[in-house]
Amino acid sequence: TPAFAQDEADKGVYVQIRTGVADLNNPDFAIIDTSITPNDRLDTKLNTKSAWAFGGELGYDFGSVRAGLEIAYQRNKVKGIALKSLNGTAITADDVGDIAETLEDYYDLDDIEIDGTTISATNGSAAKLRQLAVMANVTYDIPIGGDRFKPYVGVGLGAAGSHIKALGEDDGSIRFAWQLRAGAAVTVARGVDLTADYTYRQTGSGKLNFGDDDLEYRLGKTKASLFQVGLRFTL
């Protein structure tokens, strides 16, 4: 009877809040000049910094399975842009000066420094990449930790709006996203759990429109690793 009563107490609507650190892979970023044939294509990588991430989830706890809708936000600064190749040919340090001069014809690139094949901002960041994700999650509480300690695993599908500000321009797009999560919860009071988890989230690649008809931009797949703590309230 006490066990049955505890199971019933764990069921119901829940609210989850999370915060922590979001590490982002260095996503590919391509600039394509479509005004000429064949097109000129400059392939780069965005060197990103870790950032704080925030999120909340509303759902229903069925006892051992939870289903919820999550909204998560992060903004990673880009400390530099690593130049990889031009029209498929690898870029060397000797090529960077000429490419930087070409880019200055399109953008205001004051206060930059060149280190090898990487262009970095000397003041602030070279770019900012914001992501707002909306995910439908299903989470399974693994019944091995007793009543107070509850390990869990989960999966989520949804969409992420990726907005990038770089080279004096900004634009965003909405892409398909999926995520995997593993963590554990500790009950600190009736209906209140302290959580700690790791989430891997990946979004698809896509085209950006910075308002220039002659240039096309493509942001590659973004892969985020999130280490977060939070509180879950079962109502």
Secondary structure (H, E, C), 15-78:
EEEEEEEEEECCCEEEEEECCCCCCEEEEEEEEECCEEEEEEEEEEECCCEEEEEEEEEEEEEE
Does the pLDDT of residue 44 top 60, yes or no? yes
Percent of the chain with pLDDT over 90: 48
Q: What is the pLDDT of residue 115?
A: 78
How buried is residue 182: exposed, middle or buried, by Cβ count under 10 Å (0-12/13-18/19+)?
middle
pTM here?
0.85
Model confidence pLDDT, tens digit, residues 175-196:
999 999 999 999 999 999 999 9
Q: Is the pLDDT of residue 2 over 60?
A: no
Task: Tell me the average pLDDT across 126-141.
Answer: 92
Contact between 43 and 85 under an 8 Å Cβ cutoff? The reply is yes
* 75 contact partners, CB below 8 Å, separation of at least 6: 51, 128, 129, 130, 131
Instruction: Give residue-wise pLDDT tens across range 15-26.
Output: 999 999 999 999
Region for 211 from its dihedrals, namely left if φ exceeds 0, alpha if ψ lies in -120 to 50, beta otherwise: left
Give the Å distances, CA to CA, from 7 to 152, 174, 204: 16, 39, 39
pLDDT band at 92 (very low <50, low <70, confident <90, very high): confident
Judged by average pLDDT, the poorest of 4-13, 140-149, 191-200 is 4-13
CB-based contact 211:168 (threshold 8 Å): no
How far is the C-alpha of 148 from the C-alpha of 233, rounded, in Å? 14
Q: Are 53 and 228 in contact (CB under 8 A)?
A: yes
pLDDT at residue 167 is higher than 80:
no
Residue 168 vs residue 147, higher pLDDT:
147
Q: 41 and 28 in contact (C-beta within 8 Å)?
A: no
Count CB atoms within 10 A of the CB of residue 155.
14
H/E run at residue 100? helix 93-104
Count of positions (residues) in the chain: 235
The answer to whether residue 79 scores a pLDDT higher than 70 is yes
What confidence tier does 147 reach under pLDDT thresholds 50, 70, 90? Answer: confident
Report residue 211's pLDDT band, with 50, 70 and 90 as the boundaries. Answer: low
Highest mean pLDDT among 35-39, 84-88, 138-142: 138-142
pLDDT exceeds 80 at position 107: no
- Is the previous residue joined to 27 through a cis bond, with omega within 30 degrees of 0? no
Tokens of 99: 């490419």
Q: How many CB atoms lie within 10 A of CB 221?
A: 13
Report pLDDT for 131: 93
Q: What is the largest CA-CA distance in the chain?
A: 77
Measured CA to CA, the distance from residue 109 to residue 166 in angstroms comes to 10
